[in-house]
Amino acid sequence: MIVAIPAEEKSLDSAICVSFGRAPIYCLYDTEKETSTFIDNKAAEASGGAGIQAAQFLVDQKIDSLITFRLGENASRVLSAANISILKALNLSIADNIENLLEGTLTSLNEVHPGFHYGH
Amino acid sequence: MGTKATIAILSGKGGTGKTLVSVNLAAVAANATYIDCDTEEPNGHIFIKPTIVNEYVVTEPKPVVNQDLCDGCRKCVDNCAFNALAFIGKNLLVFNEICHSCGLCTYICPKGALHEEQRPLGIVKRGRKNGMTFLSGEMKVGESSAVPIIKALMREQQTDLVIIDSPPGSGCLVTETVGNADFCLLVAEPTIFGAHNLAMVHELVTLMGKPSAVLLNKTQEGENPSEIYAKEHGLKIIGSLPYDEHLALLTSDGLLAAEEDKHYHTYFKELLSAVVQEARHASNSDPQR
């Protein structure tokens, strides 16, 4: 299973980025191979629709799960269409969140927020 | 005052007195056109009480996909400047509130799987009150961008003197509104928050090359952060409107102060004359005109 985590830095010790679509980096963690990859998020600089573009990118990376603090409604629609499970991040490092994921202690993220694309 | 002038009344934040100033300026002018561009919550009609003579629906085109024709080439997804499309599994997803109705996706789709459909966005109302022409735009609840409504309002026939009651803030709607103005009157409150938002809208109009001046509203004894900002940034102070409970009460009753109170009639007449003079001066000194 591949899990995506929005990251502040390219390290498993990094904090999870509070933003989903505009996170600078995504950590992709493969739970079978126990390997992690860090990829720059091209959508971070988008003038609009960052969440949609980021979600499309992650779906294309064939992720199965996403661990995030929060998620916009548009990104949620994209990820739901791809049947990706969305889990609520804990205020811990990426490594600790992965540990919690493997122990099955992460809960699913139920609330999504409206976009910040006000007034375009 | 037979001068042709379009004056936008702006403020960085809401509740500073844009509508108060706009409706009263329009009321003291002869044959002005008042345009309420605050499409999320237009309220000029409360004060002007016009007779509505015409009303129509403004629509905007949005892409609609025929999933049977779409082969998932993603040309539309990759080229959309606004990231309003995603292709997941075997389906193309369209995000209408992100879409800017540019039409590119329907144009470039090699399979003809996308076409545009007009969706209602809001309404434009046209009315009259004595010699005044009244225009107002109202966005449908749940929509996110009223730019096409502002464009529709601006296409309406107008008299020589136009007073635009702008939306609050300094986003796309305000930019669209300011684009049509010869002169911008910024209304600012005597608070730190007021000065911050005044700075944002002042930067916007300066960037757009529009001449502007500030009207200091609700002034009281003591320091006025908006006045300090204006002085520090070479923004002309065209006048002050001191805080007055009587004015607040008239306004809360939906009355036009310029019609109810002689003092305010004179006040807004003089303000209008000062603003029109500024607008005329600005258009005379603009070599492109």
pLDDT tens per residue across span A12-71: 999 999 999 999 999 999 999 999 999 999 999 998 899 999 999 999 999 999 999 999
pLDDT tens per residue across span B190-225: 999 999 999 999 999 999 999 999 999 999 999 999
Determine whether domain A1-24+60-111 maps to CATH 3.40.50.2000: no
CATH superfamily of B5-32+159-285: P-loop containing nucleotide triphosphate hydrolases (3.40.50.300)
CATH topology assigned to domain B59-119: Alpha-Beta Plaits (3.30.70)
Which own/partner contact pairs does B237-241 have at CB distance under 8 Å and 24+ positions apart? B237/B213, B238/B185, B238/B213, B238/B214, B238/B271, B238/B274, B238/B275, B238/B278, B239/B215, B239/B271, B239/B274, B240/B215, B240/B216, B241/B17, B241/B21, B241/B215, B241/B216, B241/B217, B241/B267
Name the DSSP class of A43.
G
Amino acid, res. A116: F
pLDDT tens per residue across span B139-186: 999 887 899 999 999 999 889 999 999 999 888 899 999 998 999 999
Q: How far is A82 from chain B (nearest CA, A)?
A: 6
- Confidence tier at B285 by pLDDT (50, 70, 90): low
Q: What is the ipTM of this complex?
A: 0.88
Residues in A closer than 8 angstroms to B93, CB to CB, are 77-78, 81
Q: Please state, in angstroms and rounded to a whole number, the distance separating the CA atoms of residues A57 and A79.
A: 10
**DSSP H helical ranges for B71-114:** 75-79, 104-108
Q: Please state, in angstroms and rounded to a whole number, the distance separating the CA atoms of residues B64 and B67.
A: 9
Domain ranges of chain B: 5-32+159-285, 59-119
How high is the mean pLDDT of chain B? 94
Amino acid, res. A52: I
CB contact under 8 A, B144 and A81: no
CB contact under 8 A, B95 and A52: yes
B196-216 burial by CB neighbour count: b if 16+ within 10 A, else e?
Answer: ebbbebbebbeeeebbbbbbb
pLDDT on residue A110: 85
Residue B84 confidence (pLDDT) above 60 = yes
Neighbour count for residue B16 (Cβ, 10 Å):
27
Residue B42 confidence (pLDDT) above 80 = yes
Domain ranges of chain A: 1-24+60-111
Q: Please state, in angstroms and rounded to a whole number, the distance separating the CA atoms of residues B57 and B133.
A: 19
Name the DSSP class of B81.
T
Collapse the DSSP code of B92 into the 3-class scheme (helix H, G, I; strand E, B; otherwise coil) and give the result.
strand
Structure tokens at A68: 């995030």
Partner-chain residue, chosen from A48, A118, A119, that has the shortest CB–CB distance to B82:
A48
Residue B18 confidence (pLDDT) above 70 = yes
Q: How far is B100 from chain A (nearest CA, A)?
A: 8
* Nearest-Cα residue of chain A relative to residue B100: A120
